[in-house]
Structure 1
Amino acid sequence: MNLVKITAGGFNFIARLEEKEAPQTCAAFKKLLPFKNKIIHVRWSGEAVWVPLGDFKLGVGYENPTSHPAKGEILLYPGDISETEIFIPYGGACFSSKIGQLAGNHFLTIIEGNENLGKLGQIVLWQGAQDILVEDYSAAEIH
């Protein structure tokens, strides 16, 4: 499996696991599938939503890190100087926290549904937290 289906805010997205560039992060995340949580709007990073995971540790370090992901390039921050989180940019973003700029592991790239990322961001911004479900694409019912 190298594809996942992401359902959030009434939208479906298909994302590719970046297994060559972030193998440990992808392997650790796949063990969490199906992954259910809430996304909220970022505070310091621009046009993005995030899943705060607090002190949760996936047991991975930095691989394929970036502070400037493009729209649809999903990051996992493994926790270090800030809390563990998943970061989903829907526009211009610089990955940051209250302590400053961070770098997260680029481990997923949305390959279908990018045109709805901005709409999802606006829903989260104006309507608040939304459910998110990430599941194995081969196990998901796709229509």
Structure 2
Amino acid sequence: MTELEFVVAGETYTATVLEDEAPESARALEAMLPLESELMHVRWSGYATWINVDDAELSEVPRENHTVYPSRGDILLYPGYKNEQELLIACGPTCFKSPAGELAGNHVACLDATRDELAAIEERTLRDGVQPITVRRR
């Protein structure tokens, strides 16, 4: 089982990659690592944050283990079928959508963070703007 570290503004969290449920997405995510980027508040989806991954090659990633309604801590990989490519991290009630409508992202990993930690991440991006994030193998 692959584990990742998500370092958000100096705070480190562990995520478990769902290799059996989303194998192609897991391989695509691993190919992006290490990823240094910006974590932003979602614009349309509710209590969540996202990382733009438009530079990654995701055109061959199929729909797998996909959902519109991720649970708190779920990490979705969206290969960009209707919108820009991204990793979405659900921090609370979330309906993944964009100006193009609802989007189904591939549930590729689960962030091991408490309800309060996820709320703090989401609130920080809403209040203070983008936050530095690094995603790497653990």
- Indicate how the Cα distance of structure 1 residues 126 and 16 shifts in structure 2: closer, same or farther if over 3 A, else same: same
Structure 2 residue runs without a partner (length 5+): none
CA drift at 1:111: 2.3
C-alpha separation between the residues in 2 aligned to 1:4 and 1:53?
17
Aligned to 1:54, the other structure's residue is in SS state coil
Contact 2:32 2:56 in 1 (8 A): no
Structure 2 equivalent of residue 111 of structure 1: 112
Q: Which amino acid aligns with 1:46?
A: G
Can you give the 5+ residue segments of structure 1 that lack an aligned partner in the other structure? 138-143
Q: 1:33 to 1:7 in 2, by over 3 A?
A: same
Is 2:78–2:105's contact at 8 Å kept on the other side of the alignment? yes
* Letter matched to residue 27 of structure 2: A
Between the two proteins, what is the percent identity of the paired residues?
37
Q: CA RMSD in A?
A: 1.5
SS of alignment partner, residue 62 of structure 1: coil
TM-score by length of structure 2 reads 0.92
* Match of residue 41 from structure 2: 41
TM-score normalized by structure 1? 0.89
Shift of 1:83: 1.1
Deviations 1:34-53 (A, max 9, x none): 11110111111000011123
Aligned twin of 1:141 = none
Structure 1 stretch 80-89 or stretch 54-63: which is displaced more? Answer: 54-63
1:98 matched to which residue of 2? 99
Question: Post-superposition shift, 1:103?
Answer: 0.3
Q: Which moved more, 1:39-48 or 1:110-119?
A: 110-119
3-state SS of 2:53 partner: strand
Structure 1 residue runs of 4 or more that deviate by more than 6 Å after TM superposition: none
Is residue 73 of structure 2 the alignment partner of residue 72 of structure 1? yes
**Distance in 2 of aligned mates of 1:6 and 1:48:** 15
Do 2:45 and 2:98's aligned partners in 1 also have CA atoms closer than 8 Å? yes
1:24 aligns with 2:51: no
**2:11 equivalent in structure 1:** 11
Other-structure match for 1:140 = none
1:2 counterpart letter in structure 2: T
Q: 1:129 to 1:36 in 2, by over 3 A?
A: same
